[in-house]
Chains A and B, each alone.
Chain A
Amino acid sequence: MARFIVRRLLLMIPLIIGITFITFCAMALVPGNFVSNLAMDPRIPEAVIKQMEAQFGLDQPLLVRYGRWLWAVLHLDFGISLQYRTNVTFLIASRAFNTVLLSLASMLLSWLLAIPIGVIVAMRQNSIVDRILSVACFLGMSVPAFFLAFLAMDFALRTGWFPVGGTFSPDYASLDTWSKVADRINHLVLPAAVLGLAGMASLMRLMRSQILEIKNAEFVRTARAKGLPESRVLYKHVLRNALNPFVTMAGYALADLLSGAALVEAVMNLQGLGLLLLNAVRSLDVPLVMASVLMGTILLLVGNLLADLALVAVDPRVDFATLAAQ
C-alpha cells in the first residue's frame, strides 16, 4: 500500500506542473493584462500603467513569469494578488471557511436526501412515486442553480423567514457566541438548500440506477432464496454493492469542498471562493487564479487517491494491484 501511495504521489508532480502551466498559458492568451483595465481612465497616465506593469513583472516573457511563479510556489510563496495587493493565501483563507461550511451543508443535504429517495424510487420502480420523483429530478437537473437562488431570495423577501442573502447579519460582530452560531445557520439554510437540491437530483438518479442494476443480480436472488428478510437483503446486499460509485464520488467531493459555486454566491451574496476566483479570472489577477487552480488540482488529486484507498477498503474485489494497473 505504501508503494502504491508513494507512486501515486510522485505521479501527481508532473500532473500539477502540466495543469498549472496550461492554466498559465490560457491566462496569457487572453488579450491584455491586469493593468489594461486602467487604460481607459483619462486620469491615469500611461507612464503609471507602464510602471505598474513592470512592478508586477507583467512585461516579462511567459516562460520567465511561469518559472518565477513555480520557483516561488516551491518556497511556499503563492504570490501577491494584483487586485488586492496582499498575499493570496490571506484572500483564500478569508473566504475558505464560508465555502467549506456551505459545501458541507449542501453536500450533507443532497446526500442525505438523494440516497434514501433513490432507494425508495428504485424499490418501487415505475410506481406513481417513482414517476413523480423522476420528473422532479429531471426538473432539478435542468433548472440552473442560480435560478433556484433567485427564487429562494424572493421567498426570503416575501416571507421574512430567512435573511435576504449574505453570510451573516450586518451586526454579527456585536452578537454573543450562540447568537453568532444561530445567525450563521440561519443564513446557511437557503443557500445550502439551493445547492443541495440542485446537486441532489443527479445523485438520486445514480442511486436509482445502481439499485435497479443490482436488485435482480444473482447473488441477491441467492440471498432471498436463503430466506433472509427483505430488509436485510436490501441493506446488506443490494445497498452495499450499490454504494461503490458513491465512495469514489465522496473522494471527488473533497475538491468540491473548496471550489465554491460562483453564480449562486453572486446571487445570494455569499462571498465564497467561487466568486473570488471568477472575479480574479475576469480581472486577470494571475497569482490569485493560479493559487486557486493549484489548490483545486491538489485537492482533486488527493481526493481521487483517498477515494481509491476507500474503495480498496470497502470492496474486496478491488486491490492495489488492479488499481495500479489501471
Chain B
Amino acid sequence: MPDASRRRLNRVLPRALDDTRDCHTGVLRSRPSRVLPLMGLPLMRLWPCVLLLACGCRVNRPPNDHAATQTLYSSMGSDPGTFNPILVTDSASADAIGDLFEGLVKQNPKTNLIEPDLASTWTLGPDGRTITFHLRHDVRWSDGVPFTAADVLFTLRVIFDPNVPNSISFALTIDGSPITAEAPDPYTVVMHLKRPFAPLMSSIQFPIIPAHTLSHAYSSGQFNRTWGIDTPPAQLVSLGAYRIVRYVPGQQIAFRRYADYWMHDPNGGRLPRLHGQVLLINTDANSRYLQFVAGLTDVYSPRPEEVFTLEQQAARLGITIAPVGIDTGSLFFAFNRNPRHYIHNGVIDPRYKWFTDINFVRALAHAVDKQGMINLCFRGLAIPAVSDVSPENKLYYNPNLKDYDYNLALAAHLLDEAGYKLRDGVRYDPAGHRVEFELTTTAGDEALRGEMCVIFKQDLEKLGIKVDYRPQEFISLVKRLEKSFDWDCMLMGFTGSLEPNDGANFLRSSGNLHLWNPSEPTPATPWEAEIDRLLDEGAAVMDPQARAPYYWRIQEILHDQLPIIETVRARRFIAYKNSLQNYVPTVWGLYRPEMIEFRAD
C-alpha cells in the first residue's frame, strides 16, 4: 500500500490543489458534513483502544511443544505445484509429497545402493532383459484397499501416455521403446527390457499411484488435472509413511503419520516414530533463518554466511550444526564449440579456433583460482571440483583425476608455447587476432556466480586476455544455449544425480544439453564419439561395481578435453535441534527418516 498510495497521491494532488483554489471563491455552506464526524482530532482518542487490543492479543497459551507432540517442523521455499506424483517437475512438490508415495525400490543415501521398498525382492533374468519384482503383501492404500501389481501396471500405463507430460517416461525408455510389464499374479510384476539397461534400476523408484482411485480420472482424460493443490488432502490416497492432513496455501502443509504404514521397526514398533510433520512455506530465505532461530522450525539448511553465526549461538539455541557433505551438483565454465555459431559462409570466427584448441583451454584451466573462489565466495566452505560427478557419488566418482593447479605463470607459458603471444600486455592468437571473448552467467539470485566470474575475468586479464563479463537473466541464457547459440563462455550449474546416466542429455553428443555443441548429428570429435560409446556400454552392465570404469573414463575424457572447466563444490551443512534423535542427513536425503524422533524429556 505505501508505494501505491504515494503513486496515487501524485495523481490526486493536482486535483486537490484545484479544489482548494475553488475554496477561495467557495461559499460558506451550512449543510452538515457527512464526512466530518468520522474524522478529526477526536479520533486520536481511539488509539489507546487499538493499542490495548493489540497487546491483549499476545496469546497466553502453552508454547507449541514439538517434542511433546512428536511433530517435526521444517520450512520450504515455495508452494507445491501439484500433489500428483506423476506430474511433478518442481522440487517443492517433490518435497510436499515425497513421504506420501513410494516406489518398488529405493536408493540408500549412505551406500548409494538400490534397496527393497514396495518390492521385497527382485530377480534378474539370465539374459538381463527381464526383471521380476515380488511385491510386499502387507501394504495397504490409505483407503484400505491392498496394494497390488495392478497399481504398478496402471502407473506405467499413465507414465507412458503421450498425453501425460512427465519426466519419468524418458528414464524408462530404452532406445526409444518403453519397457513393458506384466503381472502373472497380483504380487508379481515382470518387466521386459529391450536390452540390459542398468540405469533402469534407479528409475524404478518412480512413485506408484493407486489404480482403483485414479483409473476413472485417467480414462476420462482428466488425469492432468487430478490431484492438483486444490484437492482436499483427505482425497489423496497414498501408502507412504505420512498423509497430508492440511494444506494452507502459502502457509503450511501438515502431515500425520499413516496409521497403517507397512514398515515396522525390528521390535514390531510403529514407524515412523514422529507422529507428524509440518512444512512451513516461506519464500524468503532470511525469514526462514529467523524462523529457525526463533524456534519455530526444528531443522534448517544454513547458507554459508549463516553457518558461523549459528555455530556461535549453538549452545544458547540448543542446536547442532552438522556437515552434511559436498554439493551433488556441478558448477563449471563452459566454452562454446558450436560451428553453427562461429562459422558462417566458410568464414571461421577466431574464437572457434581458440575454444577448440586444447592447448588454449588447458592454459585457461590453470587460470581458474579455485581456492580464491572458495575463500571469497563460499567463505571457505567449499572444495575444488575436478569432475562433473560429485565425490558424494560413492559408486561412480573417479578419485584419480589430478586437478589443473592455479598457476598464472604456467598458464602464460602454455599460451606462449601454443602461439598466443603477449604484446604490450595484450594477448594475440597465432593469426594476430586479439584474444577477447564474452563471459556470462545467470544474473540475480545467485550472487556468488557473479563473484566467481569476476575472479576468473581478473585472472584472465592478467594473462592479457580481454573478458567482457555480462550476466544475463536465466531465461535469456537458456535461449542462447538452445536456440541462438550466441555465447562464448559461461559459468553454468547442473544438479547432480546418483545415476550417472541421468546426465546423458548433457554428455551425449546428440543431447540438447550438450552445452558446448548441442544436438550434434554425428559426434564432432573422436572423444565425443568415445563418450557416446561409453554411455551405451556402461548402461548395459547391470552390476554397479563393473559399471563404474565406464563412467570413470568419461570423467577422465572431460577432464582432458575440457569442454567444461570444473570450479568448486560447496560444503553443505544442516542445523537441527539437539532434542532430535536419529537425525542422519546426507546430501542425497535423510538416512532412515522413519527412525527420527524427539528425545522424550
Contacts and interface: CB of A to CB of B under 8 A. Distances in A.
A261 B87 contact: no
A161 B58 CA distance: 7
Contacts of A31: 473, 475-476, 479
Contacts of B269: none
Nearest to A185: B57
Interface in A21-70: 30-32, 36-48, 51-52, 55
B1 A256 contact: yes
B249 A271 contact: yes
A166 B294 CA distance: 12
A36 B475 contact: yes
B16 A153 contact: no
Contacts of B79: 84
A183 B54 CA distance: 10
Contacts of A316: 29, 31
B53 A185 contact: yes
A157 B294 contact: yes
A206 B250 contact: no
B290 interface: yes
Contact of B28 (A107, A195, A223): A223
A43 B497 contact: yes
Interface in A104-141: 106-107, 109-110, 112, 115-116, 119-120, 141
Nearest to A160: B294
Contacts of A165: 282, 287, 290-291
A297 interface: no
B1 A247 contact: no
A239 interface: yes
Contacts of A90: 230
Interface in B156-179: 162, 165-167, 169-171
A110 B47 CA distance: 12
Given A170-B278, A241-B20, A141 B6 contact: yes
B431 interface: no
B479 A45 contact: no
Contacts of B13: 206, 245
Contact of B284 (A261, A266, A315, A317): A266
A39 B293 CA distance: 36
Interface string A257-297: 00101000011110100011001000010000000000000
B165 A48 contact: yes
B169 to A, nearest CB: 8
A198 interface: yes
Contact of A182 (B57, B81, B284): B57
Interface in B53-74: 53-54, 56-59, 61, 64, 73
B162 A39 contact: no
Interface string B84-104: 000101000000000000000
Specify which of A98, A235, A247 lies most central, judged by the most chain B CB atoms within 10 Å of its CB.
Answer: A235
Interface in B1-37: 1-6, 8-9, 11-13, 15-17, 19-20, 22-24, 26-29, 31, 33-36
B411 interface: no
A80 B476 CA distance: 25
A110 to B, nearest CB: 8
A38 B89 contact: yes
A240 interface: yes
Given A116-B41, A219-B23, A252-B12, A240 B33 contact: yes
Contacts of B224: 55, 85
Given A202-B6, A245-B13, A271-B281, A42 B502 contact: yes
Given A252-B8, A259-B1, A269-B282, A219 B16 contact: no
Tell me which of B281, B290, B512 has the highest count of chain A C-beta atoms within 10 A of its own C-beta.
B290
B112 interface: no
B540 interface: no
A314 interface: yes
Q: Looking at B165, B225, B294, which has the most chain A CB atoms within 10 Å of its CB?
A: B165
Contacts of A161: 58
Interface string B251-274: 110100000000000000000000
Nearest to B164: A51
B230 to A, nearest CB: 4
A249 interface: yes
A314 B59 CA distance: 43
Nearest to A237: B28
Contacts of B251: 166-168, 271
Given A85-B87, A116-B41, A206-B9, A279 B283 contact: yes
* Main secondary structure on A side of the interface with B: helix
A183 B476 CA distance: 44
A249 B26 contact: no
A37 B475 contact: yes
A240 to B, nearest CB: 5
Interface stretch (A3-11, A12-20, A71-79, A210-218): A210-218
B174 to A, nearest CB: 14
A255 B5 CA distance: 10
A37 B492 CA distance: 14
A206 B44 CA distance: 18
A84 B228 contact: yes
B3 A164 contact: no
B43 interface: yes
A195 B2 contact: yes
Contacts of A30: 475
A130 B293 CA distance: 41
B16 A106 contact: no
A40 B472 CA distance: 15
A55 B225 CA distance: 12
A32 B283 CA distance: 23
A106 B1 contact: yes
A43 B502 contact: yes
B167 A48 contact: yes
A139 to B, nearest CB: 13
B495 interface: yes
A313 interface: yes
Nearest to B226: A85
B442 to A, nearest CB: 9
B228 A86 contact: yes
B416 interface: no
Residue among B56, B57, B162, B506 with max Cβ neighbours from chain A (10 Å): B57
B482 interface: yes
Contacts of A94: 248-250
Nearest to A180: B59
A302 interface: no
Contact of B250 (A95, A145, A239, A245): A95
Contact of A170 (B290, B296, B476): B296
B513 interface: yes
Given A103-B1, A115-B43, A217-B24, A164 B59 contact: no
B1 A240 contact: no
Nearest to A45: B170
6 contacts: A45-B170, A115-B39, A185-B53, A243-B36, A266-B287, A284-B475
Given A94-B250, A236-B36, 13 more contacts: A32-B475, A32-B476, A32-B478, A42-B503, A45-B167, A51-B162, A103-B1, A199-B2, A214-B20, A217-B24, A268-B287, A313-B34, A317-B26
The 8 closest A-B pairs by CB, nearest first: A271-B250, A32-B475, A245-B16, A198-B2, A185-B57, A199-B2, A213-B20, A86-B228
Interface of B: 1-6, 8-9, 11-13, 15-17, 19-20, 22-24, 26-29, 31, 33-36, 39-41, 43-44, 46-47, 50, 53-54, 56-59, 61, 64, 73, 78-82, 87, 89, 162, 165-167, 169-171, 224-225, 228-230, 246, 248-252, 254, 278, 280-284, 286-287, 290-291, 293-294, 296, 473-476, 478-479, 481-482, 492, 494-495, 497, 502-506, 512-513
